[in-house]
Structure 1
């Protein structure tokens, strides 16, 4: 009766448990052995019933009520009648050469996912940090393979900084591919150059020909990669990055204007916040201040009006109406004699198709930016990663 209860509790049906001992107040040991009429040789797949000798192995299992559990298993060694090789009988749930059950290694993954750091896991499970580190990422790799990758229709691509946990703190970049339909990160790649992307796992995404929309920032590298790997996708330039171009141009002129004697007595100026806020969101007094400053500095007034025109275009409904307004904006910018305006217009003309595709798809890269934020939190929580593959597994699993 006791043996059947132990078998049911430990979920190892091929083992027969003979004894239970309390080695210390915190360690429990179960004695067991495997019973079978024959075993199959792993080399030539021949049945063998001849027992050569037997050995005892100690396997660590999942703790019971915070008590460490060890399995003392008696294993027989068989001699193959065909190839004369000696092999040890296998036990399901315990991989060859491992000193812990697969269930225990899965339990490490659960603890590492819910505890604040791996050091607390080692203290809780009373095992080495090497085992926790090895088993955790080993289980993550298995869990990532089990994820159901349905064919995405909309993908967002963006990069974020990746800092290795070394003394130099060398800064690299990681590119994420976000599946908008299933709300998860599909793939992560080290680097953001075309060669890095084309040689990564991103090219192995199943159903690439079925992807209808891809959202990117204004990067020629991403544009070239998407055109090659997602031939049937509509490329959309992210709305935030388009507005960011105008804000950067406005901010650059504003910094130069702050050196004017008019602002010498002002210790703090609200100009930056006022000029980055949409005009229709300013109150009457704030709008009056902006118009007064614009009257003093024509160059700032010109680029500010173009920024507001671009924001108003994004409020237009309908592709044809938006294209007409966008063309009118670039034509007016062409008449300007200022270098900053001409440089901005050149970029808009280059990305005209991708910018206007927003009015067809209506999607932005906000979801991808949100996952980038989560990626930085994962890095900060782990104090950086030395191994990018481990970082990739953690990010895909946590953002599934």
Structure 2
């Protein structure tokens, strides 16, 4: 195995980190071994310059997880040099740019995680790709959120509103999201959907931005139309056609089942209503009244 090539594939740029061996286990996990050793320039605790004031103090075993390579999880068992400072009698561990301090997930995995958060995939899928947990991906998403500042002076003329299933960090079972109806870009994702909290959030936008909203496209949730009365004075509510059709289908199926239960299970009417329920949903103009097929 060419260990320099292995470091290149894993994105390890630390010259002090050496990979010594590696193998693929029966479980498909690529397990690498390596060591990290160097001469520190100063003590990170007291700041004393290393003029033979810092000595080697053994090794410590650590683990670093990397993103999958060829669908295989990669784990590096890294022995790090442990140091002792004669000046302050403190001990410290050798650090590497491959992974943050006190962490086991590599920086390359963190970078890949942020890149995949822009893709239309679930957090669980991203966690599987970067060999991490769902909660880790969620924390990366929350940290990335701090780098994006909401523009409180602008809202598009068309806004799409809907709810999504919340993560464990949210306060409720469902969260609220709204998008630009023209560009389909996500504007914000909120961990709540109650009317009081939504009004408080949207009032943070200035009046000119709220008056710029002309159309709100949403489902049949009774909460969102109330925002028009208080927050968006110039907007009108448009029900999404998908939710209208979905509501009609549910109502029709409930009526079909109600009528079906009026017949005995052995009757032809019962079997016809139960078997051909899809046919009853087909529009009349698409039906063929001349040919009959069993």
Residues 179 and 188 in structure 2, CA contact (< 8 A), matched pair in contact too:
yes
Compute the displacement of 1:177 (Å).
1.9
CA deviation profile, 1:11-41 (whole Å, cap 9, x unmatched) = 4444414561348865321222245533655
Compute the displacement of 1:178 (Å).
2.8
Residue 60 of structure 2 is matched in structure 1 by 56
Structure 1 residues 132 and 274, CA gap change in structure 2 (3 angstroms): closer
Residues 251 and 272 in structure 1, CA contact (< 8 A), matched pair in contact too:
no
- Structure 2 Cα separation of the partners of residues 205 and 79 of structure 1: 58
Comparing 203-212 and 174-183, the one that deviates more: 203-212
Residues 217 and 240 in structure 2, CA contact (< 8 A), matched pair in contact too:
no
Residue 196 of structure 2 is matched in structure 1 by 195
Structure 1 residues 271 and 89, CA gap change in structure 2 (3 angstroms): closer
Residue 96 of structure 1 is matched in structure 2 by 101
Structure 1 unmatched ranges of 5 or more: 126-130, 166-170, 286-400
Residues 15 and 35 in structure 1, CA contact (< 8 A), matched pair in contact too:
no
- Structure 2 Cα separation of the partners of residues 163 and 61 of structure 1: 28
Residue 132 of structure 1 is matched in structure 2 by 133
Residues 218 and 237 in structure 1, CA contact (< 8 A), matched pair in contact too:
no
Structure 1 segment 1-400 matched on structure 2, within 5 A: 10-18=10-18, 20-22=20-22, 26-38=30-42, 41=45, 47-50=47-50, 51-53=53-55, 54=57, 55-62=59-66, 66=72, 68-76=75-83, 88=93, 90-104=95-109, 121=128, 132-142=133-143, 152-153=155-156, 154-159=158-163, 162=165, 172-189=173-190, 192-198=193-199, 209=210, 211-217=213-219, 220-229=222-231, 231=232, 234-238=235-239, 240=241, 268=272, 281=285
Residues 14 and 91 in structure 1, CA contact (< 8 A), matched pair in contact too:
yes
- Structure 1 Cα separation of the partners of residues 104 and 230 of structure 2: 48
CA deviation profile, 1:361-383 (whole Å, cap 9, x unmatched) = xxxxxxxxxxxxxxxxxxxxxxx
- Structure 2 Cα separation of the partners of residues 242 and 22 of structure 1: 54
Residues 217 and 238 in structure 2, CA contact (< 8 A), matched pair in contact too:
yes
TM-score normalised by structure 1 residue count: 0.43
- Structure 1 Cα separation of the partners of residues 279 and 62 of structure 2: 66
SS in 1 for 2:20: strand
Structure 1 residues 239 and 155, CA gap change in structure 2 (3 angstroms): closer
Instruction: Write 1 or 2 for the structure with the bigger share of helix.
Output: 1
SS in 1 for 2:179: strand
What value does the CA root-mean-square deviation take over the aligned residues?
A: 5.8
- Structure 2 Cα separation of the partners of residues 15 and 176 of structure 1: 45
SS in 2 for 1:48: coil
Say which one has the larger Rg: 1
CA deviation profile, 1:113-144 (whole Å, cap 9, x unmatched) = 989977x949x96xxxxx53443333344456
SS in 2 for 1:224: helix
- Structure 2 Cα separation of the partners of residues 21 and 243 of structure 1: 61
CA deviation profile, 1:75-114 (whole Å, cap 9, x unmatched) = 5455887xx976556433422222332324556786xx98
Structure 1 residues 116 and 251, CA gap change in structure 2 (3 angstroms): closer
Structure 2 unmatched ranges of 5 or more: 261-266, 290-294
- Structure 2 Cα separation of the partners of residues 80 and 146 of structure 1: 40
Structure 1 residues 38 and 180, CA gap change in structure 2 (3 angstroms): farther
